[in-house]
Amino acid sequence: MAGLSTRHLLGIKDLNVSDLQLIFETADNFKTVLNRPIKKVPSLRDVTIANIFFENSTRTRLSFELAEKRLSADVVNFAASSSSVSKGETLIDTVNNILAMKVDMVVMRHPYAGAATFLSKHVKAQIVNAGDGAHEHPTQALLDAFSIRERYGDVAGKKVVIVGDILHSRVALSNILCLKQLGAEVMVCGPTTLIPKYIGALGVKVEHDLIKALNWCDVANMLRIQLERQDIKYFPSLREYTMLYGLNKQILDSLDKEITVMHPGPINRGVEITSDVADSKQSIILDQVENGVAIRMAVLYLLAGQTP
């Protein structure tokens, strides 16, 4: 079996189309495993993986941990808030101390863009980027594309709109890079202040009218407003944002065709999406969560199969 073209998973930009297809085909097999009564396989027995999270996380951390345990890996969890990082220890020192305990792979989330790439150049272990600042979140983009593929049979030719806080979103950038490679058409939609200035260079359309964007698309990926990353006010109020860019059942039912609704989570119900949309049959939000485990199993399995 051919392997991945990269030793680490730092971002979608490091993957080619063959890598993406290999990850999806491997995830198909692991999804079959996850639906069996016994959900565990011994693929990564004797491999030790450290989950190092310098930012809060629920779904991603649990999804990676579950994927690792389903593959029979030994798992070490590390939370920066309760570690020596709070005493002034550097990132490289922290990771080298963990690697001295014979850890084979590091899954890391960090608030600063490029942290995973920086680390990959200074330590011997394989690095999986679980999100670095507002830069990339590769496994989220992979599971989103995998979910679209599962729903429609193929990603190529599909029209996907990403709505919301594009400026601060690592999910948006990784999704754009992944979907474009797979042959989808991509549009971003949101207030002018939350759309990056040179986003057109990525080959995406820009729309500021939500209804027009939704009538154009097959799939709408609704992003959360990342207030924790905003140092100034980008719009007058959450109420006004919801009036202009919030998706409710009334809007969904008024569209020319039935679209698929996605959300990377966590959902702010009543802001970017209402409960009746999130829980509707057009929503595949829980399918995304389920697919996240299979995709992360595939990534870890394929990376661990490489020789240094």
pLDDT tens, 129-142?
999 988 999 999 99
For 247-272, how does the pLDDT look when each residue is reduced to its tens digit (9 = 90+)?
Answer: 999 999 999 899 999 999 889 899 99
Nearest to 44 by CA among 289, 288, 299: 299
* Per-position b or e across 51-89, b if 16+ CB within 10 A of its CB: bbbbbebeebbebbbbbbbbbebbbeebebeeeebeeee
Q: How confident is the model at residue 94 (pLDDT cuts 50, 70, 90)?
A: confident
Per-residue tokens: 111? 């608030």
Q: Averaged over 71-75, what is the pLDDT? A: 97
8 Å CB contact between 217 and 179: no
For 189-248, how does the pLDDT look when each residue is reduced to its tens digit (9 = 90+)?
Answer: 999 999 999 899 999 999 999 999 999 999 999 998 876 555 657 777 888 989 999 999
Q: How many angstroms separate the Cα of 115 from the Cα of each of 10, 53, 76, 230, 293? A: 9, 12, 20, 20, 24
260-262 β-sheet, strand order: 205-207, 185-189, 159-163, 219-222, 260-262
Please identify, in words, the CATH class of the domain defined by 138-288: alpha beta
**Binding site per annotation, positions for L-aspartate:** 87, 170, 224
Vertex 294 angle, CA 100 and 283, to 5°? 130
Parts of the chain belonging to CATH 3.40.50.1370? 12-137+289-304, 138-288
Instruction: Kindly give the pairing relationship between strand 105-110 and strand 260-262.
Output: unpaired
CB neighbours of 295 closer than 8 A, spacing ≥ 6? 23, 27, 139, 142, 143, 146
Please identify, in words, the CATH class of the domain defined by 12-137+289-304: alpha beta
Alpha carbon distance 182, 177 (integer Å): 9
**Binding site per annotation, positions for carbamoyl phosphate:** 59-60, 109, 137, 140, 265-266
Alpha carbon distance 78, 108 (integer Å): 10
Strands (E), 158-222: 159-163, 185-189, 205-207, 219-222
CB neighbours of 161 closer than 8 A, spacing ≥ 6? 186, 187, 188, 189, 207, 213, 214, 216, 217, 219, 220, 221
**Binding site per annotation, positions:** 59-60, 87, 109, 137, 140, 170, 224, 265-266
What 3-state DSSP class applies to 133? coil
Alpha carbon distance 272, 225 (integer Å): 8
Vertex 272 angle, CA 239 and 13, to 5°? 135
pLDDT of residue 105: 95
- Cα 260 versus chain centre, distance: 18
On the CB side of 169, how many CA atoms lie within 13 Å of its CA?
Answer: 30
Q: How confident is the model at residue 154 (pLDDT cuts 50, 70, 90)?
A: very high
Q: What is the mean pLDDT of the chain?
A: 91
Query: Does the pTM of the predicted model rise above 0.85?
Result: yes
